[in-house]
Amino acid sequence: MVPRVWTRRKALVAATWGLTILTMEIFLTLMYRSIMSTFTFYSAIAAAVISSALLSLAIYISEPRYKRARYELIIEVLDERVDDDLGRIIINAAKESGRISPYELAKEANLSIYKVVERIHELEKEGKLRISGLTLE
């Protein structure tokens, strides 16, 4: 789920860019009005409104430029006995490859990445696994 603050900020940026482009296009149209026919003038104004609206929409629905840093934890399993489903998913993933990506596990378990990281730390405190390293993707 996208945070509301990010959605509001993105909408504000989209509207600002759209209004900026609209203002520039109308200014240029007014500047050249003396050499345009009435039909051409109103067509240019309509095109300015439509293009700025499309630009605002494109900015609003676009993906953010940055990507969240993804990393993998290098984990050694010490004890396989766990009581909950998330713990089992974590232990099984660590047994398979020795590496865990909290981001991928969160997507697989349909949970937040923070919940997965919290559970990994709990398992480490309980002595079920040991984190021996970290790799950035």
As to burial, measured by CB atoms within 10 angstroms (0-12 exposed, 13-18 middle, 19+ buried), residue 34 is exposed
Predicted confidence (pLDDT) per residue in 78-93, tens digit: 888 888 888 998 999 8
Residue 22 has pLDDT above 50, yes or no: yes
- Rounded Cα distance between 65 and 17, Å, is 16
Domain boundaries defined on the chain:
4-61, 71-136
pLDDT of residue 18: 81
Residue type, 42: Y
Fold of 71-136: Arc Repressor Mutant, subunit A (1.10.10)
**Mean local confidence (pLDDT), 111-137:** 87
